[in-house]
């Protein structure tokens, strides 16, 4: 696993080539405008949530599957808010825009790999999910709220990260070769939204990155949190999340190993030596 860049901007991410299944759109438009409440393409397997939208899937492709670099406009189910993702996608910085009426808020990104959106069915808001390194993570989630002609950006997973690390440490589990950007938690963690409960509560998964530098790699716990604060309301072990919310889970969480890891850590795969 190659080193991950440390994110220094408060709400930063950089766009790189995206990896997922393909969806062909008509060519020749200056902006590809997509109402994202439509059904996802059949070739796409949900990664973390059945409500996710892979931005890669929305990009136009040639007949041989090559991505066509054109601006991508992603509209909310209500049609009143949208994101604009310009093309170009350089290797240093990337800026995309959240639009709410006349407000056009730029969001500057240093790292933005394999991105997803997840609109709220209860309020004008969306989660933006992205990796800061590669397809395995680490994945981060931003909450973008469109409210009264304004756009607010928050990172709601900080308390989840602290609680997950404390739990991991309490079980006596460890990682080796941790990267500098992970020192705040001590381990590599992916943060995925699974579902919205209402406009101010959502279910998240905190997953140990699926790499053998960590004990029980690929395993996760669930957290119901308040929004936008990120306050943890309830924690769920992996087996309970799969049992109670299985219909909301994407493929990577459905297939997560070691269902009893958070009760019996000796039952799961130890890290590589």
Within the chain, what is the greatest distance between any pair of CA atoms?
56
Contact 43/54 with Cβ under 8 angstroms?
Answer: no
pLDDT mean over 235-259:
95
Domain range list for the chain: 8-155, 156-273
- Is residue 26 scored above 60 in pLDDT? no
Q: Is the pTM of this model over 0.75?
A: yes
Instruction: Of 273, 270, 241, 269, give the one whose Cα is nearest residue 257.
Output: 269
**Rounded distance between C-alpha atoms, residue 271 and residue 54, angstroms:** 31
pLDDT over 70 at 211, yes or no? yes
**68-96: pLDDT as tens digits:** 777 889 999 999 999 998 875 555 567 88
The label of the residue with tokens 């997922």 reads 20
Average model confidence (pLDDT) for the chain?
79
- Is-contact 34 75, C-beta < 8 A? yes
The two three-digit tokens of residue 69, written as one number: 């670099």
Report pLDDT for 12: 38
């Amino acid at each position: 696993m190659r080193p991950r860049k440390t994110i220094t901007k408060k709400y930063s991410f950089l766009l790189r080539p995206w990896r997922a299944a393909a969806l062909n759109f008509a060519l020749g438009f200056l902006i590809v405008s997509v109402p994202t409440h439509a059904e996802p393409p059949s070739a796409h397997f949900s990664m973390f949530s059945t409500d996710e939208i892979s931005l890669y899937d929305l990009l136009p492709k040639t007949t041989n599957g090559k991505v066509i670099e054109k601006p991508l406009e992603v509209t909310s189910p209500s049609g009143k808010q949208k994101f604009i993702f310009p093309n170009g996608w350089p290797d240093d910085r990337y800026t995309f825009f959240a639009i709410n009426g006349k407000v056009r808020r730029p969001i500057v990104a240093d790292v933005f790999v394999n991105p997803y959106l997840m609109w709220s069915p209860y309020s004008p808001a969306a989660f933006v999910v992205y990796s800061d390194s590669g397809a395995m993570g680490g994945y981060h989630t931003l909450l973008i709220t469109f409210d009264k002609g304004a756009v607010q950006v928050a990172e709601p997973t900080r308390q989840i990260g602290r609680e997950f690390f404390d739990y991991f440490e309490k079980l006596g589990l460890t990682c080796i070769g941790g990267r500098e950007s992970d020192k705040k938690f001590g381990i590599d963690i992916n943060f995925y939204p699974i579902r919205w409960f209402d406009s101010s509560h959502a279910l998240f998964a905190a997953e140990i990155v699926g790499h053998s530098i960590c004990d029980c790699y690929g395993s996760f716990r669930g957290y119901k949190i308040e929004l936008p604060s990120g306050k943890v309301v309830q924690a769920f072990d992996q087996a309970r999340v799969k049992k109670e919310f299985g219909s909301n889970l994407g493929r990577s969480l459905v297939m997560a190993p070691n269902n009893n890891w958070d009760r019996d850590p000796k039952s799961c795969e130890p890290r590589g030596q």
